[in-house]
Structure 1
Amino acid sequence: MFVFRHRLAGGDVRWVEVYSSPVTIQGQPILFSIIHDITERKRAEEALKEAYNSLEEKVKERTAELEKAYILLKESEEGLAEAQQMAHLGNWDWIIITNEMYWSDEIYRIFGRTPQEFGATYYGFLDYVYPEDRYYVNNAVKEALKGKTYSVDYRIIMANGEERIVHEQAEVIFDKKNSPVRMKGTVQDITERKQVEDELKRTGEELKKRNKEIVSERQRLYNVLETLPVAIVLLTPDHHITFAKRVFCDKFGEIDEQHCYDFCFGITRPCEFCEAFKVLETGKPHHWEASPIIGKPLCLTEVCWTYMTFLSEMLMVHSRFLRWTLILPREKKQKKPLQKWNRCA
């Protein structure tokens, strides 16, 4: 997952969040991504960060001016609460010595609780953590009190029984004797993000599975084509050779997905006389004749074949067209003059 800014055609700059996963389609690696516009969330997070930092600085600098500090604090708290609600992110403060805990309004919303329900203690908080995750969370807190980083994802149970997933990170404040006296941090509801990540993972696994099936089916097709008593070449609409029977390779050499005109004649553009792609215009078999530079004249039959991969179904793109070229020796008597392949050599 990564986040970056993106400039729109109109000049507006938006923040986007991208979840990506590598998958392999027909032997080729591709990157499958899901993109979310998180501009409003980024703005809310920046507003939250600025408001919180401002609050801390004002409390430190104006402790003596109680009345003025109180007014500023209330204003900052209101702005902080609004920003937290927009970002689904709340802050908390735990005074370790007295075991008192403060939750912002947004945390109550995330946990689906009210201030009256919450015991305002660390153990009261643990009661809302999913039972199977309590040991993990409690152990992470213990490690943080020893000086380690605290950043965890865990499940919670809301008052209505709904299960949600949150991300929590915090820092521990130590006194001069290096004893922990305070721990403060943030909680963010990441349920939807986790669902997207899980769906992306499932999609990636399905892509790999279906790709294996496609590769297997394609190989079975190639095996069948090898048994036919004619020379067959399989081309894409952009003239790439994707398959050729062994008799073709024995005559012209091994293929490596070259263009047919480059492979056969060493030129950089399609042959002017080629009639092969008429089959794509009509959708019907097309018969034509040609004479190679070396060897006997040939009769060629073009057949249009379409197929759609699993990925093309998912992405709603058009089917690919593949051309079957059946190459047969031409009979001695011909009714039509032959096209000469050596014109493009």
Structure 2
Amino acid sequence: MCTRILWNTNDLATLSGRSMDWPESTDPLIVASPSGRSRNGGDLAGTNVVGDNPLRWISRYATLVTSVYGLGGIDGFNEKGLAAHGLYLQSTDFGPRDTSKPGLHGGLWVQYLLDQAATVAEAVALMADVDVVMVSARGHQATLHVALEDSSGDSAIIEFVDGKQVVHHGREFTLMTNDPTYDEQLELLSKQDFSQPDRNMPLPGNVNPVDRFQRAAYYSALLPTPENERQAVAAVMAVMRNVSVPFGAPYGEFGVYNTEYRTVSDLTNRVYYFELTTSPNTIWVEFDGLNLAPGGDPVAVDPYDWTMIGDVTTRFSAAHVTF
């Protein structure tokens, strides 16, 4: 369970926010990878999980991502200002394996798009030539849909429904949570206009994805014109806190997961903000301050290191990354 919003209507920066809601720690690392890195879309911990014709590529762009279970990036952006976010969608159905297309396991889906595309349009086009394959990690299936945005403010949502790819491409697709499918979420949103919010408007307050979607629409519409980048980032983070799932909402009773962390991607200034919900500290990374020579090794920081606070760009160090 997660939420993503995009703020592409202010004059200072294109900003996106996401929350990661999950029943356990995803063992996140914030990983910076240079261009020129070889990857295998069928390899999962040394095992080929896609069968014949796995997708192989060499990354065109440097990336800054938060990893999930060591499989690959689940959230982040690349040097060109393209961001991608993988969110849970229970009804995901990638369909049967089509070996005529190179196979890409779901854990590397976000990473592949960030490695190879500079814009949303390029990322959407890439999807015509690959076959995404379901993968499991720690007992959880990668039933994902992906949100994309770039520094121009373009946006897309990609889902797989009944074995077929469904794409919503356009600047207007700024919100995303989980189930139901995006078509259904847009239909639910159309029943109440949140574009002109006021203090008397009834606001869904539950923690399920439908209520979070509507709440994200309401608070996004309230965002004031920022005077500077700091205000803009704080505004997006405030919305993400409003749509987070607080501790104490057990899955067994509510059918949702608590929020592990929140991020904000500033795609104009290439800064990545990260807030672990069990830490009082917000940290950030200035992409341009990283040393990412093409063909080099990835570097990382561990957000669970409680000494991390503020700008951690200089805290990156060599890390054993398997993707």
TM over 0.5: no
Query: Normalising by the residue count of structure 2, what TM-score does the alignment of the two structures yield?
Result: 0.25
Query: Normalising by the residue count of structure 1, what TM-score does the alignment of the two structures yield?
Result: 0.23
Larger radius of gyration: 1
Structure with more helix by fraction: 1
